Amino acid sequence: MKASKVLLAKAGLCVAAAMALAQAAPAGAQFLGAPRTPAPQKPIPPLTAPDPAFTYPQHETLSFTVDWRVFTAGVAVFKLDQVGSDVRISTTADTVGAVNMLFPVVDRFQSGFDLKTGCSTGFHKQIQENRRKIATDLTFDYAHGRQLQDERNLVKGTATHKEANIPACVTDDMSAIFYTQSQTLTPGQTVSFPLADSMRTITVGMKVEAKEEIKTPAGTFQTVRVQATADEGVVKNRGSIWIWYTDDARHIPVQMQARLFFGTITFHLQSIDIK
């Protein structure tokens, strides 16, 4: 019984870990031994604008179940809406069933990006993971080359403010999933772009590995499998991440997977609502 409870607690945690992998710990954190001297950072590539021929739906809702081992640990819903010249993304991640009783997760994320440039317009998260409640706002002041983060601990009542440099255009953890849709995804290619990561800017490569047929509750899809790669930061240090996009003009993400230190978490598409 005790072992079962531990597994359920980890299953609840997996929803938070998979949805906010970059928030698990400071990038490059060292848990044992003395901290290493960071290697010199490689030049950051510019963000390539979305293909003008690519069209995002006015409104789109993608619903996923989040599975870990034999458990359906949670559900995640991504809602995309075009508002003026921006795509705005609202995401929810919640535990379900017995997992929710033992380790409740209620996470909310908002982000967005400019349709013409691909530049992120900001990132907000409010996470409630068991007794932990944190609200974070990340804004980008491109005119002055700065990113600003304001974080509030809703349990302790404390707040912090951080600032760091950024290049002329970056993407964020959530927008990157959907920005990648607008790029050419040919096996053997890698789409590289700057990502705002734990108050740094790192280069993330979306490596298009192969074409693959994927079966989900929403149907069977011909896809391209894309792995997120990086030489530093949380994408490198926290696990391996893959996204399967439909192998057509829409490039809809229909499956996502994160292999973490405590197991593999997979997002399976349940439904698509496009308007």
Q: What is the pLDDT of residue 272?
A: 97
Q: Is pLDDT of 100 > 60?
A: yes
Tell me if the pTM is above 0.75.
yes
* Burial class of residue 98 in the structure, from the number of CB atoms within 10 Å of its CB (0-12 exposed, 13-18 middle, 19+ buried): middle
Q: What is the pLDDT of residue 6?
A: 43
Q: What is the pLDDT of residue 275?
A: 82
Confidence of residue 99 (pLDDT cuts 50, 70, 90): confident
- For the chain, domain boundaries: 2-24+46-116+173-274
Tokens at 21, concatenated = 């992998």
Q: What is the pLDDT of residue 237?
A: 52
HEC string of the chain? CHHHHHHHHHHHHHHHHHHCHHHCCCCCCCCCCCCCCCCCCCCCCCCCCCCCCCCCCCEEEEEEEEEECCEEEEEEEEEEEEECCEEEEEEEEEECHHHHHHCCEEEEEEEEEECCCCCEEEEEEEEEECCEEEEEEEEEEHHHCEEEEEEEECCCCEEEEEEEECCCCCECCCHHHHHHHHCCCCCCCEEEEEEEECCEEEEEEEEEEEEEEEEECCEEEEEEEEEEEECCHHHHHCCEEEEEEECCCCCCEEEEEEEECCEEEEEEEEEEEEC
Q: What is the pLDDT of residue 102?
A: 79
pLDDT in tens, 200-233: 899 999 999 999 999 999 999 999 999 998 876 5
Q: Which overall architecture, per CATH, does domain 2-24+46-116+173-274 show?
A: Beta Barrel (2.40)
Confidence of residue 25 (pLDDT cuts 50, 70, 90): very low
**End-to-end alpha-carbon separation of the chain, Å?**
46
Confidence of residue 157 (pLDDT cuts 50, 70, 90): very high
